[in-house]
């Protein structure tokens, strides 16, 4: 059955040996975060497909993971005869995770906020995330990793708001900034 084949592909990709953060647990966390705001979401099915496919292609040595993930999502959704307009929206959601900018699109802002929800968790959870990300980028020595990580952390710290939706902003913004600063000081 096609659905089982597609799920097996998702499970295999997110369970790859080189993944330490971008795993099935990451997907579970996104769904959990988004269920809290489900009543604010216009199209739950599109959100779920975006969750499942947003990091399906993830290689720490590449900078086109979002584009490749969006392409694969579009291909797979086409295979199940999902409406083309919804496929386009799903691809746009996935691409939005590249920069996490405010869009004014409520579903997109909630989705990208949920994707960043780990940043605003308690320090002990955030510290585990830091270790997992470092493992995913273990190919790079500290000499290369640390300046790149600092750039990412500063990118988020320089944003007016990390979280675009009021819900996630109120819930996670202050803790996220504290966590980002604490990690930045440790590098």
**Contact, 179 vs 126, CB < 8 A?**
yes
Mention the CATH class of domain 2-186. mainly alpha
Model confidence over 41-87: pLDDT tens digits? 999 999 999 999 999 999 999 999 999 999 999 999 999 999 999 99
What is residue 99's predicted lDDT score, i.e. its pLDDT? Answer: 87
Residue 93's alpha-carbon distances to 49, 50, 69, 98, in angstroms, are 10, 6, 11, 10
Mean pLDDT of 146-154: 97
Model confidence over 119-128: pLDDT tens digits? 999 999 999 9
Domain segments of the chain: what residues? 2-186
């Amino acid at each position: 059955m096609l659905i089982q084949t597609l799920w097996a592909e998702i499970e295999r990709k997110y369970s790859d040996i080189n993944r330490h953060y971008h795993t099935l647990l990451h997907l579970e966390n996104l769904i959990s975060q988004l269920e809290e705001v489900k009543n604010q979401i216009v199209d739950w099915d599109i959100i779920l497909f975006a969750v499942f496919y947003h990091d399906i292609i993830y290689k720490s040595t590449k900078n086109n993971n979002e584009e490749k993930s969006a392409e694969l999502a579009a291909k797979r959704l086409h295979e199940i005869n999902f409406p083309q307009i919804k496929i386009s929206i799903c691809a746009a959601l996935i691409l939005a995770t590249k920069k996490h900018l405010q869009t004014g699109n409520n579903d997109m802002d909630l989705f990208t906020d949920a994707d960043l929800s780990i940043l605003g968790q308690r320090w002990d959870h955030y510290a585990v995330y830091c270790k997992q990300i470092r493992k995913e980028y273990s190919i790079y020595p500290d000499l290369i990793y640390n300046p790149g990580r600092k750039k990412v952390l500063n990118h988020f710290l320089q944003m007016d708001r990390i979280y675009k939706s009021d819900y996630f902003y109120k819930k996670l913004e202050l803790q996220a900034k504290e966590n980002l600063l604490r990690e930045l000081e440790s590098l």
